A and B are shown apart, each in its own frame.
Chain A
Amino acid sequence: MCPQPRLVEVRQNILKQNDIVARELRQRFRDAGVHVVSLVSSPGSGKTAFLEQTLTLLRPDYRVAALVGDLATENDAARLARSQVPVRQITTGTLCHLEAAMVRDALEGWDVAELDFLFIENVGNLVCPSSYDIGEELRLVLLSVTEGEDKPLKYPTIFHTADLAIITKMDLAEAVEFDLAAANANIQRVRPGMPVMKVSSKNGAGMGEWLQFLASDRARRRLYAHS
């Protein structure tokens, strides 16, 4: 006979499988001495333009590469390839986010130890990527001035998983009457203490400060890893 169902305690993290792969990746990146930076934002916030600038500016001094996630098309990879660094596209099909295993698979055949920086551009989405660790060391959340100052309040979760906020398209700030103080205040409301940078990929404003941050973040983490 079948009695009533029994309640059995089963303690498991639902994304255990992803977290295991992400942890392995992070360890592999640390051992290889490559600094891995991921980018999340809504579609159209300027991730690819920002990344293209970053890759172009880093290339003379560092060994850099990028993975770029998208639902369809390889347009972003083609754009990033103009920076003349190795780029691979991860086409997710209908999946709205990258998972750790996709990053692992996309890296196949690449010796990450030959890199100083690896950038991973997530699918344009401010919701889904927040649940998935992809093994990165530093996660950027990008917010463009054309999106409005209240984005952080609408998507607090993604701001909570990121380490640094970057406000993009600053060259348009005046035209769209972007209120920088309000944007800053909203970021600090949902993620107190989060560093914020302002850039324009078009005219290069703020890129120097960003690259400086990146270099010192890498140095600091390497020091920490070796101590």
Chain B
Amino acid sequence: MHELSIAMSILELAEEESAKRGGAKVTAVHLKIGALAGVVGDALQSSWELACENTQLQGSRLVIENIPVKVYCPVCAAPRTLNSLQWFQCPDCKNVVSEVIQGRELDVVAMEILECVHSPGS
């Protein structure tokens, strides 16, 4: 269960972003998590709630996009998406594949930010 550590790192990034924008409220953080990143989405969601408690991120959402593993198949000479982490085999030609080109992501890609605009005179 290292998802809490991951959640704390995300929280830091969100707080940095908020500080850069004069304390604007971050209401959601969008992530991309590769199947080979070693992070479980559900566990991360509950860790996120815990990590955000009593911070300005409390009540914010995590929006997770799961990224499948893509490999380069030398026989097909093309990228292929793996059906299973348990078998590094080209889904088309059934040859062994080892070159991973996608699926290790553990990235923040976007944040939803509420910036209060006080227009003069309003």
Contacts and interface: CB of A to CB of B under 8 A. Distances in A.
B117 A1 contact: yes
A10 B111 contact: yes
Contacts of B96: 188, 192-193
Nearest to B33: A14
B9 A14 contact: yes
B65 interface: no
B8 to A, nearest CB: 10
B1 A128 contact: yes
A2 B9 contact: no
B92 interface: no
Contacts of B108: 10-14
A17 B41 CA distance: 21
Interface bin, chain B = 35 or more
A95 B88 contact: no
A127 B106 CA distance: 15
B110 A9 contact: yes
A7 B118 CA distance: 19
Interface bin, chain A = 35 or more
A3 B2 contact: no
Nearest to B107: A13
A5 B36 contact: no
Contacts of B122: 1
A189 B100 CA distance: 14
A156 B83 CA distance: 13
A130 interface: yes
Contacts of A180: none
A28 B86 CA distance: 36
Contact of B86 (A5, A10, A156): A156
A192 B88 contact: yes
Interface of B: 1-2, 5-6, 9-10, 12-13, 17, 27-28, 30-31, 36-39, 85-89, 96-98, 100, 106-118, 122
5 contacts: A6-B115, A15-B106, A156-B85, A158-B38, A189-B89
Q: Which 5 A-B pairs have the closest CB atoms?
A: A128-B2, A130-B38, A5-B112, A192-B98, A156-B85
Interface of A: 1-18, 95-97, 99, 127-128, 130-132, 153, 156-158, 160-161, 188-193
